[in-house]
Amino acid sequence: MGGIEVLASGGSYPVEIGAGSSARLDSMTRRAAGRNKLFLFYDANFFALHGRQLRKAIHIESRRVREMVIPAGEKSKSLTTLASIYDFLLDHGIARSDFILACGGGVTTDLVGYAAATTLRGIPWGAAPTTLLGMVDASLGGKTGINHDRGKNLIGAFWAPKFVCADVNYLATLESRHMVAGLGEILKCAGLAGSKHVAALERFLDQDNLYYLRALTPLIRRSAQLKTHIVSRDEREHGPRMCMNLGHTFGHGIEKALGFGRLLHGEAVILGLWAALTLGEAEGFGSKGLMRYRDLVERHIRLLPRRKLDAEQIFRALSLDKKRGADGLRFVLLERLGKPIIYDNVERRSIKAALKSMIKIYRALGGKNA
Ligand SMILES: NC(=O)c1ccc[n+]([C@@H]2O[C@H](COP(=O)([O-])OP(=O)(O)OC[C@H]3O[C@@H](n4cnc5c(N)ncnc54)[C@H](O)[C@@H]3O)[C@@H](O)[C@H]2O)c1
Ligand SMILES: [Zn+2]
């Protein structure tokens, strides 16, 4: 498709999204790597399914390419795996003019992007996201990093890639729960973007086929466009980028209360969006557009696996959330569809009521994707 260009402090970069767009990965990578070495990193599951095909598509002679496979899963976003990447890069004589390409989901792009940011004070890199969440969120915006025992993403850097190239065809092999988690972020974007995005998502769900990639591709583009537009205006999250946290204060609380991994991040965001809508309603925000959006959130809740949630426990967990304003918890709410607003100082009572309402609807609807 072309057309998406992200502004970043180190220069703008293109985002390519489409079915079969890995054909473009070749020219993008060759242009970026020049005559230098290319360090290719793959997520292990992705590598097993598509690694050979991807490597074949990049026409750089083998003597200039070094490849490493990263174990799949959030655990890899650790100091230990990072150290093994540093060892690999240094053992193979990485130079500042070399190029790094990360192929995988958000775990791989966050981790490898951070290794790129910190090796020799910064190596240029590119991202080939292979999960839905990676395509609409994690690979965009230049945030890279790893987890620490004290919490997620606590160590990191802003280090924008030179390009992002997302081949939607790779999603055909993604597990359905990861498809739903990615949809959670698309759903968030729909709330931020407005009725056209909502309508496109409704049409996609009407197909009743998570792998209907022809209908999914325009949704991925729309979501990526929204995020890159916001990130271009606010790379370091001082202002408008905060809106991308719609549904996330609640979502993080849910993830934490359950124990990380029991619900995937994007799954928890779906529930978080419901809670944010309910909180907004208590603050007096109600409109036809928001009602329609609520219906759409409900349709996503139906796709979630069943877990036991407790409102008090989530409340305690989100009280510790790092994204809070100076005076307490910070929520992004929707004043109208497509019109986010930042809310600080929300009453505890309203937060708990929103959580209870969310758990009720989840009990009633959730459980299909167990
Ligand atoms: N940097 C950011 O701005 C940002 C934004 C959102 C999320 N994140 C991070 O992203 C991470 C989550 O990313 P994710 O949801 O992509 O998870 P992930 O990278 O763990 O990938 C999910 C699963 O899909 C597998 N996989 C990858 N591609 C596949 C393919 N094409 N076919 C089959 N299986 C495939 C992986 O092996 C893994 O098991 C979290 O660590 C989160 O903190 C970062
Ligand atoms: Zn998110």
- Rounded average pLDDT over 303-318: 94
With beta carbons less than 8 A apart as the criterion, state whether 131 and 103 touch.
no
Residue 92 is part of a domain; what is its CATH number? 3.40.50.1970
How many distinct structural domains can be found in the chain? 2
CB of 16 closer than 8 Å to CB of 163: yes
| Location of structure tokens 């060892």 | 87
| Helices of type H across 78-212 | 79-91, 106-118, 132-133, 176-193, 195-206
**Of 150, 173, 196, the domain-final residue:** 173
Residues with CB under 6 A from ligand 1: 43, 45-46, 49, 72-74, 77, 104-108, 110, 130-131, 133-134, 137-138, 141, 143, 152-153, 170, 173-174, 178, 181, 265
In a domain, 93, yes or no: yes
Q: Is residue 370 part of a domain?
A: no
Cα distances (angstroms) measured from residue 175 to each of 42, 153, 172:
17, 24, 9
CA of 266, nearest ligand number: 2
Each residue's pLDDT tens digit, 169-222:
999 999 999 999 999 999 999 999 999 999 999 999 999 999 999 999 999 999
pLDDT of residue 370: 43
**188's tokens:** 């968030």
345 vs 363: which has the higher pLDDT = 363
Phi, psi of 147 (to 5 degrees): -95, 165
Q: Whose CA is nearest to atom 6 of ligand 1?
A: 138
- Look up the domain containing 347 and give its range: 176-365
Instruction: Give the three-class secondary structure for 182.
Output: helix
pLDDT of residue 239: 73
Residue 76: nearest ligand to its CA? 1
Give 158-173 as a 3 state SS string. Answer: ECCCCEEEEEHHHHHH
Note the pLDDT of residue 201: 97
Once rounded to an integer, what is the mean pLDDT over residues 82-93?
Answer: 98
The residue whose C-alpha atom lies closest to atom 19 belonging to ligand 1 is 105
Tell me how far the alpha carbon of residue 269 lies from the centroid of ligand 2, in angstroms.
Answer: 7
Does the pLDDT at position 68 exceed 60?
Answer: yes
Both structure tokens of 180: 């739903």
| 310 and 349 belong to one structural domain | yes
Distance from the Cα of residue 146 to its chain's centroid: 14
What confidence score (pLDDT) does residue 326 get? Answer: 44
Q: Give 306's DSSP letter.
A: P
pLDDT, tens digit, for every residue of 271-307? 999 999 999 999 999 999 999 999 999 999 999 999 9
> In a 10 Å sphere around its CB, with 0-12 CB exposed, 13-18 middle and 19+ buried, how is residue 340 labelled?
buried
Residue 320 sits in a domain of what CATH number? 1.20.1090.10
Q: Based on the domain organization, do 212 and 72 belong to the same domain?
A: no
Domain boundary among 173, 202, 227: 173
Q: Which residues contact 135 (CB under 8 A, 6 or more apart)?
A: 17, 129, 166, 168, 171, 182, 220, 224
For residues 125 and 33, is the Cβ–Cβ distance under 8 A? no
Centre of ligand 1 from the C-alpha of residue 288, in Å: 34
> Do 151 and 214 belong to one domain?
no
- Distance from the Cα of residue 306 to its chain's centroid: 22
How many angstroms does the Cα of residue 323 sit away from the middle of ligand 2? 13
Same domain, 240 and 347: yes
The C-alpha atoms of residue 177 and residue 17 are separated, in whole angstroms, by 22
pLDDT category of residue 368 using cuts at 50, 70 and 90 = low
pTM of the model: 0.95
Query: How sure is the predictor about 236, in pLDDT bands with cuts at 50, 70 and 90?
Result: confident
